[in-house]
Amino acid sequence: MAGGSANPAGMLYLVATPIGNAEDISARAIRVLSEVDLIACEDTRRTSRLLAAHSIRTPTLSYFEHNESRRVPELVTRLRAGEHIALVTDAGTPTISDPGYRLVRSAIDTGIQVTAVPGPSAVIAALAVAGLPTDRFAFEGFLPSKAGERQRALAQLATEERTLVVYEAARRLPRLLSELIAPFGPDRQLAVVREATKTHEEILRGTLAELAESFANREVLGEVTLVIDGAHGSRDAIASSAMDESRIVNVLREAGLSLKDASAAASKITGASRREVYQNAIRRESN
C-alpha cells in the first residue's frame, strides 16, 4: 500500500474508529492505518493515543471543520501523486456528522478511488439498543441551534413515520426534550442513549413526558443520541395526541418565532389550514 504503487493515484480510506470503548476497532482498520502513507485526523492528539495503543507510527495531519477548505486541495494533490491516505474523526465513521464530505466529493470528482473501512457508528449502536422499529429510520444529526430554526425543524419532523435518530450536546438535552413535547406529544416513545459503549453507558427508555421530567433537574454529561419512535396513524390521530393548535402556537411564539412562522409550523403539526391557524392566532392575540 506504499506510495510507490504501480497505480497512478492513491486511495482514500474512510476508517471508522471507536465511539467509546477502545477495543471496538477492527483488525482491518489497524492494518490500513499502519500501511497508509498519511492519516488525516480531526484531532491529532486524540488520534495519536489510539495509534500508540496499537503501535502504529504512520504520520498524521490535522483535518477538521475550520481547516477543511485549505486541506482538501493539499490532500487531493497527494492522492493524485500516488499516496494512500486514511481519514479518521475523533469517533465513529467519517462524514457522518463529522468532517470529510468535501474531501470525499473532491476525491471522487478527481477520479480517485474512495473506500470505507466500516466499524463503530453511534447511529447504528443507538438504534440497535433503543427497542424501537429499525426497518426504516431517518438520521437527522444535530438539529439547528437557533430556537426558531429548531422549532420549524421539529414541526416538520413531528409527522415523520420513520424512527428518528438525533444527536444532541449533553448540556442541551433537557431543553430539547421539553421542546419535543409540543410538536411530538407527551406520549411519544423514545430512547436516550448516553455514553454508548463507554464505562458509564446509560440507556433510558420511556415517553417524552417521562424522560423530560427525568432529565429536567440533573446534570447531563457525555455524548447523547436520541432515538424517537415515528408517528403512527393518520395525521388527525397524530395531531390529537399532540397539544392543540393554540397551545402549539403559544409555545412556538415563546421560543421566538413570529406569529406567521408559528402558525405555519402549527398547521404542519395539526393538518389544519395555515390561513385558518394564522387568523385564529391573530384573533387570540388581539383579545
pLDDT at 3: 45
CATH 3.40.1010.10 segments of the chain:
11-120
As beta bridge partners, residue 41 has 62, 88
- Specify the pLDDT at position 243: 55
* The pLDDT of residue 285: 79
Q: What is the assigned CATH class of domain 11-120?
A: alpha beta
- Where in the chain do CATH 3.30.950.10 domains reside? 123-242
Q: What is the pTM of this model?
A: 0.77
The C-alpha atoms of residue 281 and residue 220 are separated, in whole angstroms, by 37
What is the dotted CATH code of the domain comprising 123-242? 3.30.950.10
| 165-208 pLDDT per residue, tens | 999 999 999 999 999 998 999 999 999 999 999 999 999 999 99
> Which residue positions in the chain have pLDDT lower than 50?
2-5, 234-242
